[in-house]
Amino acid sequence: MHTSPDLIAHPADTDFGAQAGQHHPPATLLRCVAGLAVIAGGLVHIQLYFAGYRFISNPNLGRSFLLNGVGSLTLGVAVVLRRDLICRAAAFGLVASTLAAFTASRSGRAIFGFSEHGLTPSPQAIITLLIEIAGLMLLVATLLPRIGAGANLQPRPGAVVMVPTLALWAVLVALWANGSSSATPAAVTPLGPSAVTIESFAFGPNALSVPTGTTVTWTNVDPFSHSVVARNGDFGSEPLTTGASFAFTFATPGTYPFICGIHPSMAGAVVVTP
């Protein structure tokens, strides 16, 4: 004759445990996948931050990406480890705001002076878009009474330690990467008086003076696509991928302001002297 060890160990928890998890493995699986989607969205934001978004002229844009990343990692882990409704509600709020910001930044409304066009940067934009929409739907699905596990359990000690530890880890990695990246050698680009390098979301130099008849060359060394578009429409490049160049010969004296067609906050000017 055998007695279940669970009944002896947790006599008061038996019904509760069975209702919340043991007889509903799909609920736990759903919650874990939702949490992983939230984590993945956060990782893409952290990757973009280190790949160059921290250099965007308004530092709040980069900071918002880092904050989104750390917040998503923390809430994603919380959703995986905890059944509490509040974790899923907070994660839902964060993912919904991320999607709102994504949409706003592509509808002409600049966020911290920064806007994007369509599904750039590629492939991060399409990856986050799909992941975050999936995450949102999965989080909603966990609330459905038939498959969701909405019960509030006592905090598990492991979870209580794990969440702040992972958040701390993310911040430390961020600080380390930020400090070590300054040692990264810049791409070797021979800079002539008529050469502009596109790097770290900026034109360098962003103002240059050249005599009439000079051919100015713009070279993109960023890991993101940029373009060169004259404000007066005189010239305009296709999106330049990493390493790609665009050249234009200035035949008429004057001042030619230009911007990046993908990120209009990036601006510069060529002054053509007679």
Rank residues 139 and 198 by Cβ distance to Cu ion and give the closer one.
198
Number of residues in contact with Cu ion under rule CB under 5 A: 5
Tell whether residue 228 is a contact of Cu ion (CB under 5 A).
no
Strand order of the sheet with strand 207-211?
Answer: 207-211, 267-273, 254-259, 229-230
> In the bound complex, what is the minimum distance in angstroms from residue 266's beta carbon to Cu ion?
5
> In the bound complex, what is the minimum distance in angstroms from residue 191's beta carbon to Cu ion?
19
Of 13-21, 126-134, 177-185, 219-227, which part binds Cu ion (CB under 5 A)?
A: 219-227
Rank residues 31 and 226 by Cβ distance to Cu ion and give the closer one.
226
Identify the residue among 262, 268, 270, 272 touching Cu ion (CB under 5 A): 262
Identify the residue among 38, 66, 260, 272 touching Cu ion (CB under 5 A): 260
Of 38-46, 77-85, 165-173, 254-262, which part binds Cu ion (CB under 5 A)?
A: 254-262
Tell whether residue 263 is a contact of Cu ion (CB under 5 A).
yes
Of 12-20, 130-138, 224-232, 245-253, which part binds Cu ion (CB under 5 A)?
A: 224-232
Q: Write down the number of H helices and E strands in the chain.
A: 7, 8
> In the bound complex, what is the minimum distance in angstroms from residue 193's beta carbon to Cu ion?
23
Tell whether residue 226 is a contact of Cu ion (CB under 5 A).
yes
Q: Which three-class secondary structure state does DSSP give residue 119? A: coil
What's the gap between Cα 114 and its chain centre? Answer: 13
Alpha helices, DSSP H, located in 124-198 = 124-141, 157-181
Of 8-16, 78-86, 121-129, 223-231, which part binds Cu ion (CB under 5 A)?
A: 223-231
Of 72-80, 111-119, 147-155, 252-260, which part binds Cu ion (CB under 5 A)?
A: 252-260
Residue window 8-47: x/- pattern of binding to Cu ion, with contact defined by CB under 5 A: ----------------------------------------
> In the bound complex, what is the minimum distance in angstroms from residue 52's beta carbon to Cu ion?
10
Rank residues 40 and 260 by Cβ distance to Cu ion and give the closer one.
260
Question: Which positions lie near Cu ion, rule CB under 5 A?
Answer: 226, 260, 262-263, 266
